Amino acid sequence: MSGLQLYLILGAAVFLLGLHGLLMTTDSIRRLIAVNLMGAGIFLIMVALAGRISPPDPVLHALVVTGLVVAISATAFALRLITAAARVDSGQSAVPDKASRLASKSESDVAEDSRP
Amino acid sequence: MSYVIDTVAWILMGAAVIFFTTGALGLLRFPDVYCRLHAVTKTDTLGLGLLVLGLALKSGSFSTALLLLIIWLLVLASGAVNCQLLARYTLDVEAGAAQSAIKRAQGDHHDT
Amino acid sequence: MTLELMPDIVLGALLLLMAWGALYAPTRYDAMALFVAFGVVVALIWARLGAPDLALAEAAIGAGLTGVLLMQAARQLPAEASVTGKRMPWFGSSLLFLVLTCAMFAAHILTDSSFKQAGIDASATRLLGGPTVPEMVTAALPNSGVSYPVTAVLLNFRAWDTLLELLVLLLALTGVRQLYPGTPQHPRANTASPPQAWPVLLSWARFLAPLLVLLGGFLLWRGASGPGGAFQAGALLASAAVMLRLTGLLPPLRWSSFLLRLAVILGALLFLGVALASLAFGDGWLVYPTQWAGALIILIELAATLSIAVTLSLLVIGESEDLSS
């Protein structure tokens, strides 16, 4: 067993663990963590493959650097979507400011609409 | 000579591992936040110090030793700050909980 | 199994433990804390695998900024109803399936003769008898303008990736901004973190922020010849901004400020400008002239660092008062 084999297996295990978590958990934050784990597993496989030659393959390293930044921006956006969805679930609007502005502006319209 | 230095370095690093283990044990076994903070910060400071000392001896280069020293000082300071923050936060939370408990005991249901 | 593999095995066991905890820890806060710890272990693994760039980026992004992001989102969410999936009907059988799949993969990896050596046979990556991709990178490195292969790939050979990545960052920020239109009517209502003016925290933040800026500048400069570059520097600067903002030392970053919006798009704008100029006057899209390559890469990296830093800090700490005013 070499280091390359160990890290390839580890990457696959982390990916599958993330997939398992994605399918099994119900909390949205845990699901987001699961997606991030799947990404980490793929990065691990890529970096392990980059290390099969010496010096390590720079192309794969560069791809993973790019991937890390893309992963964090996707995570940030997903977290905002999750909090917005939680606001909707609790009866508020996804966009609190605009909603309250609209509500105060169109109260009369709504009243007219609801009249039989 | 180098043999002696190597042995001393290994002894220092071994002591560091013992300190880290003790700290982790304290983190797991101690009852409340303050005791745990006490265990973790003390042992981490000393453990990391010993580890840095051992690595600096093994590296044999003055600039590496200096960098390791800077790392130790930074971790030392941030550990102290984090410990203080966590302890103060816990104190605030507990004080808030105690106050609301007193209020509830007095039947004082003001809208806060 | 040799003694040399011991650190790898310990790291791997830690990684799996953290991954399991990040998914199935009893409370959501435990799960998030363990995910941050997972990021630290991954950073250690990158360092172990000879990828210091990735270790730096992972430590700043995965272990630093992600934690702040998760904690801030979690305090706006209701407590989760039922915790782990352990009560779910398919948990055991799917776990068995997972372990079996892993075992099959492991058996293939361990028995396939091409994996037996320290590495896959290098000829497997050879393109029809031509040179391998790493060989091509090494051959083209002297003309790329920088001496560090990863930076050369990021900003010269595969500059498309980096350009698109800057656009992805912009897209994410636009998406986040869509959720906060209009002017905030209750600025106190969802302020994520009230400024906590504890003297020790303030003085430590004041000491640490210039240090982080210095380190970011060093990493940016170092990127031309060694591990480092625009992403790591940008992430460090963003973490400095996040720290100052959370301690209340930095006023809200107002989206209405022209300079802020310019800083956000500067990287992508400059990159596109260089690409168009090289298309119009040079050899093609993003093909730099050799004698200009070094200067162009430094210029793009400077702008990209600024953009990445500002965009990441807006993504992490951007509340309605930052993004909609």
Residue C184 pLDDT: 47
CATH code of A102's domain? 1.10.287
Between C272 and A89, the more confident residue is: C272
Quickly state the pLDDT bin for C170 (edges 50, 70, 90). Answer: very high
Residue C81: per-residue pLDDT = 64
Q: Do chains A and B touch (3 or more CB pairs under 8 A)?
A: no
Please tell me the pTM assigned to this model: 0.84
Q: Does B18 touch chain C (CB under 8 A)?
A: no
Confidence class for position C320, pLDDT limits 50, 70, 90 = low
| Structural domains counted in chain A | 1
Q: What are the residue ranges spanned by the domains of chain B? A: 2-105
Mean pLDDT of chain C: 81
Using an 8 Å CB-CB cutoff, list chain B residues near C201.
81, 84-85
- Please give the pLDDT value at position C39: 93
Is C121 a residue whose pLDDT tops 70? no
Domain of residue C291 covers 131-325
Burial of C91 (0-12, 13-18, 19+ CB in 10 A): middle
Write out residues 160-179 of C within 8 Å (CB-CB) of B.
none
* pLDDT for the residue numbered C86: 52
Q: What is the per-residue pLDDT for C115?
A: 59
Test C200 with B84 for CB contact under 8 angstroms.
Answer: yes
Out of C126-135, C202-211, C312-321, give the one with best mean pLDDT.
Answer: C202-211
Q: How many domains are contained in chain C?
A: 1
Looking at the complex, report in whole angstroms how far the Cα of residue B28 sits from the nearest Cα belonging to chain C. Answer: 14
Please provide the DSSP assignment of C75-90 as one string.
TTSPPPSS--GGGSTT
Instruction: Answer yes or no: do C73 and A96 touch at CB < 8 A.
Output: no
CA-to-CA separations, C143 to A74, C147, C150, C271, in angstroms, rounded: 34, 9, 14, 19
B92, pLDDT greater than 70 = yes
Does the pLDDT of residue A111 top 70, yes or no?
A: no
C57 occurs within a structural domain:
no
Is the CB of residue B53 less than 8 Å from the CB of residue B72? no
Q: By the 8 A CB rule, do C121 and A30 touch?
A: no
Q: How far is CA A4 from the centre of its chain?
A: 28
Tens-place pLDDT, residues C273-318: 888 888 888 777 877 877 788 888 888 889 999 999 999 998 888 7
| Pick from C40, C93, C29: nearest CA to C63 | C40
Percent of chain C with pLDDT over 70: 84
What mean pLDDT do residues C250-273 have? 86
Contacts of A94 in chain C (CB under 8 A): 179
C204 and B81 within 8 Å at the Cβ level: the answer is yes
In a domain, C69, yes or no: no
Half-sphere exposure of B42 (CA within 13 A, CB side): 11
Range from A102-111, B18-27, C193-202, C268-277 carrying the lowest mean pLDDT: A102-111
- pLDDT for C99 beyond 90: no
pLDDT of residue C11: 92
| pLDDT of A50 | 85
What distance in Å separates the CA atoms of residue B80 and residue C220, rounded to the nearest whole number? Answer: 30
C195: preceding bond cis by omega (within 30 degrees): no
pLDDT digits (tens, 9 = 90+) for B38-48: 888 888 888 99
Most C-contacting residue of A63, A72, A88, A98 (CB-CB within 10 A), to test interface: A72
Percent of chain C having pLDDT more than 90? 22
Query: What domain range is A14 assigned to?
Result: 3-114
Give residue-wise pLDDT tens across range C2-38.
Answer: 778 888 999 999 999 999 999 988 888 889 999 999 9
What is the predicted pLDDT for the residue at A108?
Answer: 40
